[in-house]
Structure 1
């Protein structure tokens, strides 16, 4: 059920008695701007920490405890050409509580808390509280730096920087840049906050045993004005480069991280989208895949080997953990697996197994309130909704020829290896 609340403000409701909880998600969506990514990430940190009514993290935690252990959080993500600030809240459905005596149901209380977070932040003297701001800026700085401790994450980020050289919105992490972060002031974040409330597209989504009337009433008093939202392309489309970009760095790692990036110019709205999903699953996206079987299991050249497909950026990534001296052999075997699929050398048995695993994953997602909520934003941004039955029919119809046709559009664009300085790693 989809409703327009204001221009640029929507509500999606998935009424169901399937769960004993009620899930709420609020997405603030803005076009990606390199100058704004860091400020929006810091704003999310500050808003998550306190409100005028709950001025400390302890006070906010106490309120969540009072709401029978409700969960609440704010995160940021990049989705194609968009940056998203996402608030999530999960509450017990009080009809499953034996001794619930509050006058107001928990769903309404949860929505009231989100309203408090969004529209009544802690702003003494019209500015974000200085101690809170400084602490959260330091926390974000620590979070960004600590991500680099995950060497696979670091390798993938460096790969993205190579792949999208000169395109900072795509190269940058959703958490932003440490150099920009150090220069941000509380005044900057206040401006970002007002910009978000005034201009972002707002998508509210609810899943659980909630009626249309209750869901609409819960957002009716949120002070959101109409906003002009252009029908922008959510997909980041980019030109193929003539040369592969290569990079490597030394780091104190025992296991080298070799990552590869390809262009796969098939987007969520393309006819071949589902075939691209099947290709990725067969190539490296599942434990059944060619990369897992041939690079990791048969050749024993990798601790892990997998692939991922992003239909919002038209990219395919391969991630491996290897001994650095095996880099060229690993790259050769990966290239062989891709070439084999491009030639149509994919067994019907593997194709059937991969399609069965994708169907199981889709069905499992129906049992997850958060995954169902997350899927709603994709539907909003792409204007695409595929009923399960139709999706199953399309999946069943995908042939080896379809997967081969997709594979033929895959082109290597960047490689990056993070290694311990072993001779021959470069």
Structure 2
């Protein structure tokens, strides 16, 4: 159920008695701007920490505990051309509790908590609390740096930087960059806060045993003004480079990380979208895939080998953990697998098994309220919605020829290897 609350503010209600909780998700969405990514990430950290009513993390945690262990969090993410600040809250459906005594139901209390976080932050003297701001800026700095401790994450980020050189909105992490972070002031974050509340598109989604009247009544307590939102193309469309971009770094790692990036210009609203999903799953996206079977299992050249497809950026990336001296052989075998699919050398039985695994994954997602909520943003941004029956039909209709056609559009654009040198490899 998709409802327009006011200009630029929409509600997705997924009424169900399936779960014992009620999940709430609020997305503030705006076009990516390199200058704003870091500030929005820091704002999310500050808002998540305190409100006027709950000025410390301890006070906020105590309130969640009093709400029968409700959960709450704020994250930032990039989806194609858009940057999202996402608030989530999950509360127990008090109808499942034997002795719920409070006059106000837990859903309304959850909505009131989100209202306090968004509209009544800790703003002594009209600006963010200096101690909280400084601490959260340091916490974000630590978080950005610690991400690089995950060497596969680091390799993938550097691959993105090579692939999207000169395009900072795509090259940059959703958390922003350290240099900008060090320059941000509390006044900058306050400006970002007011800008977000006034201008971002707002997508609210709720899942659980709750009526439309209850949700709209709770939202009516939020002082969200109408906003003018133009319908932005969420897809990042880009021109491939004529020359392969290659990156290589030394690091104290035993297991080298070899990542590859392909342009796969098939987007969520394209007719070939489902064929691209199946192609990625068959190529490297599942344990049944060619990369897993032939690079990891048969050739024993990789500790892991997988691929990911993004229908918002038209890219497919391959991630492998290898011995450094095997880089050329691994790249050659990966290319062999792609060439085989491009030539139509696809086992019908494997295709059927991959389609079954994708359907099973989709069905398992129906048991996760969080995944169901998260899927609503994609539907809002793309204006593409499919029932389970339609999705299943589209999946099962994909043929060998469809996968071959999509595979032929994959074009290798960049490679990156993070390694300790051949002499340091196991």
Pairwise CA distance, 1:424: 11
Whole-Å separation in 1 of the counterparts to 2:217 and 2:15: 15
- Give the 5 Å matches for 1:286-301: 286-301=286-301
Partner of residue 46, structure 2: 46
C-alpha distance in 2 between matches for 1:352 and 1:146: 41
2:256 match? 256
Query: Is contact 1:325–1:424 with CA below 8 Å preserved after alignment?
Result: no
Asked if residue 331 in structure 1 is aligned to residue 331 in structure 2, the reply is yes
TM-score, length-normalised on structure 2? Answer: 0.99
Measured in 2, the distance between the counterparts of 1:397 and 1:287 equals: 22
Give, in whole Å, the separation in 1 of the partners of 2:262 and 2:180.
29
Match of 1:143 in 2: 143
Equivalent-residue separation in structure 1 for 2:383 and 2:2 (angstroms): 12
- 3-state SS, counterpart of residue 318 of structure 1: strand
How far is 1:240 from its partner? 1.0
Structure 1 contact 32–169 (Cα < 8 Å) conserved: yes
| Distance in 2 separating the partners of 1:257 and 1:274 | 29
Q: Give the corresponding residue for 2:157.
A: 157
1:249–1:418: 8 Å Cα contact kept in structure 2?
Answer: yes
Deviations for 1:132-190, whole angstroms, at most 9, x for unmatched residues? 00000000000000000000000000000000000000000000000000000000000
Please report how far the alpha carbon of residue 331 of structure 1 lies from its aligned counterpart in structure 2 after TM superposition: 0.1
> How far apart are 1:326 and its partner, in Å?
0.1
For residues 8-407 of structure 1, what are the structure 2 equivalents within 5 Å? 8-407=8-407
- SS of the residue corresponding to residue 340 of structure 1 reads helix
Q: 1:283-337: CA deviations, max 9, x gaps?
A: 0000000000000000000000000000000000000000000000000000000
Q: What is the distance in 1 between the residues matched to 2:217 and 2:346? A: 53
Secondary structure of 2:265's counterpart equals coil
State the distance in 1 between where 2:393 and 2:234 align.
Answer: 26
Separation of aligned partners in 1, 2:90 and 2:400: 42
Give the 3-state SS of the residue equivalent to 1:133 in structure 2.
helix
Deviations, residues 70-98 of structure 1 (Å, cap 9, x unaligned):
00000000000000000000110001111
Alpha-carbon distance between aligned partners in 1 of 2:19 and 2:232, rounded to the nearest angstrom: 35
Contact 1:264 1:409 in 2 (8 A): yes
CA contact (8 A) 1:39 1:188 kept: yes
Contact 2:254 2:424 in 1 (8 A): no
C-alpha displacement of 1:421 = 1.8
How far apart in 2 are the matches of 1:364 and 1:285?
A: 17
User: More displaced, 391-400 or 72-81?
Assistant: 391-400
Deviation, structure 1 residue 6 = 1.1
1:391 Cα deviation (Å)?
1.1
What is the CA-CA distance between 1:221 and the residue it aligns to?
Answer: 1.8
Shift of 1:282: 0.2
Q: CA deviation at 1:24?
A: 0.2
Distance in 1 of aligned mates of 2:216 and 2:361: 32
User: After superposition, what is the alpha-carbon deviation per residue over 1:95-125, rounded to whole angstroms, capped at 9, x for unaligned?
Assistant: 1111101001000000000000000000000
Q: SS at the partner of 1:226? A: coil
Please give the secondary structure, in 2, of the residue aligned with 1:367. Answer: coil
State the TM-score, normalized to the length of structure 1: 0.99
Structure 1: gaps spanning 5 or more residues = none
Q: Which moved further from structure 2: 317-326 or 416-425? A: 416-425
- List structure 1 segments (4+ residues) > 6 angstroms apart after TM superposition: none
Kindly tell me the number of residue pairs found equivalent between the two proteins. 425
